């Protein structure tokens, strides 16, 4: 039986949207504090040229920056495919959103050589979309059922078996390039057939992931949602390894955010209280860093603010 993976590349991808700059500061601080450097190497991919002050700060913190180009025209969220095309000389490549903030080591959860990601959050897109896509895609087989964390627009949790949250995606290094090529092909196809997604075009990246797994004739091995903890889960779990604080969710939970950007730990389990404490320490350092840099100082309104909508 092969040994489990032991070294990981963890990467995020930003573009020239200032919101990503403020989130990136916290992402780096959390990764630096909470991910063991002997097991994780951290890389930031930049579509376009990052500001000089951001680049200097990343260099000072020992973060490698790789420049990249838009991967799929018309689908900016597919830029997260970029790290999977590269050789990182580690066992697995992990790509996560820049608004996913680590508060603990997750290497003990990464013991498989399969493609991995957390479960879908809200049965998005609904299964009727997957029925249409699978019928039009030319892939063998049809819709196969899985379960999302919460109910979607149909009032049920059912979704396609390979529908995920793309907040974190893990690929074994030996198959990463093949995986990226197929994922890009399926994303391009989805952009060309975007009418089939109806109002769900924002989700090209995760839906094309599901189609890629179908083409590979594999099912994703789900990671625990504790590595992709959304605000809806905080009162329902006892452990958090990473918080996924998206600007789409934050306005729904204004009571969770203090004026200084920290999270309110009321009503959660002791383990979650400790995780929030670690996150809040990182937030304090991040805010102190942001006010020193012109590229982030004027964009603090976009950072962990329930009054700001993207």
Say which CATH number the domain at 42 has.
3.90.550
Contact call for residues 218 and 112 (beta carbons, < 8 A): no
Q: Tell me how far apart the alpha carbons of residues 222 and 256 are, in angstroms, rounded to a whole number.
A: 27
Q: What is the pLDDT of residues 165-183, one digit of tens each?
A: 999 999 999 999 999 999 9
Q: What is the band of 310 on the pLDDT scale with cuts at 50, 70, 90?
A: confident
Q: Is the pLDDT of residue 65 over 70?
A: yes
Tell me the mean pLDDT in the region 132-152: 92
Six token digits for residue 288: 């102190």
302 within some domain: no
Q: What is the pLDDT of residues 198-240, one digit of tens each?
A: 999 999 999 999 999 999 999 999 999 999 999 999 999 999 9
Tell me the mean pLDDT in the region 238-266: 97
159 within some domain: yes
Tell me the mean pLDDT in the region 41-70: 96
Q: Is the pLDDT of residue 95 over 90?
A: yes
Q: How many CB atoms lie within 10 A of CB 122?
A: 17
309 within some domain: no
Q: What is the band of 84 on the pLDDT scale with cuts at 50, 70, 90?
A: very high
Q: What is the band of 1 on the pLDDT scale with cuts at 50, 70, 90?
A: low
**pLDDT at residue 152, as a whole number:** 92
27 within some domain: yes
Tell me the mean pLDDT in the region 258-262: 97
Q: Is the pLDDT of residue 266 over 70?
A: yes
The H or E element that residue 172 is part of is: strand 168-172
The greatest distance separating any two alpha carbons of the chain, rounded to the nearest whole angstrom, comes to 55
Q: Is the pLDDT of residue 81 over 70?
A: yes
Q: What percent of the chain has pLDDT over 70?
A: 100
275 within some domain: no
Number of domains in the chain: 1
Q: Which residue range forms the structural domain that includes residue 74?
A: 8-226
Looking at every residue in the chain, the average pLDDT score rounds to 96
128 within some domain: yes
Q: Tell me how far apart the alpha carbons of residues 15 and 48 are, in angstroms, rounded to a whole number.
A: 6
**What counts of helices (H) and strands (E) characterise the chain?**
7, 11
Contact call for residues 101 and 27 (beta carbons, < 8 A): yes
Tell me the mean pLDDT in the region 244-260: 97
102 within some domain: yes
Query: What SS3 class is residue 177?
Result: helix
Q: Which residue do the tokens 């997260």 mark?
A: 80
Q: Is the pLDDT of residue 72 over 90?
A: yes
Q: Tell me how far apart the alpha carbons of residues 291 and 122 are, in angstroms, rounded to a whole number.
A: 35
pLDDT: which is higher, 254 or 153: 254
Q: In terms of DSSP H, where are the helices of 217-297?
A: 270-290, 294-297
148 within some domain: yes
């Amino acid at each position: 039986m092969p040994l489990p993976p032991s070294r990981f590349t963890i990467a995020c991808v930003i573009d020239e949207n200032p919101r990503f700059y403020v989130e990136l500061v916290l992402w780096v601080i959390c990764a630096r504090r909470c991910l063991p450097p002997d097991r994780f190497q951290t890389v930031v991919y930049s579509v376009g040229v990052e500001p000089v002050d951001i680049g200097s700060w990343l260099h000072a913190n020992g973060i490698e920056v790789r420049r990249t180009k838009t991967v799929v025209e018309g689908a900016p969220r597919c830029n997260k495919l970029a790290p999977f095309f590269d050789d990182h000389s580690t066992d697995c490549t992990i790509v996560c959103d820049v608004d996913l903030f680590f508060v603990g080591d997750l290497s003990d959860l990464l013991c498989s050589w399969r493609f991995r990601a957390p479960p879908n959050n809200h049965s998005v897109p609904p299964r009727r979309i997957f029925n249409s896509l699978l019928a039009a895609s030319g892939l063998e087989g049809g819709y196969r059922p899985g379960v999302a964390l919460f109910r979607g627009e149909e009032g049920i949790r059912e979704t396609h078996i390979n529908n995920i949250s793309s907040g974190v995606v893990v690929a074994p290094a030996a198959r990463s390039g093949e995986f990226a090529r197929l994922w890009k092909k399926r994303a391009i196809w989805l952009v060309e057939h975007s009418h089939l997604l109806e109002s769900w075009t924002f989700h090209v990246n995760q839906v094309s992931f599901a189609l890629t797994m179908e083409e590979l004739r594999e099912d994703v091995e789900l990671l625990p949602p504790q590595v992709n903890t959304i605000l809806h889960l905080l009162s329902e779990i006892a452990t958090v390894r990473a918080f996924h604080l998206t600007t789409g969710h934050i306005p729904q939970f204004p009571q969770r955010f203090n004026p200084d950007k920290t999270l309110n730990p009321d009503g959660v389990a002791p383990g979650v209280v400790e995780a929030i404490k670690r996150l809040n320490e990182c937030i304090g350092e991040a805010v102190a860093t942001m006010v020193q840099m012109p590229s982030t100082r004027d964009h603090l309104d976009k950072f962990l603010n329930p009054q700001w909508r993207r």
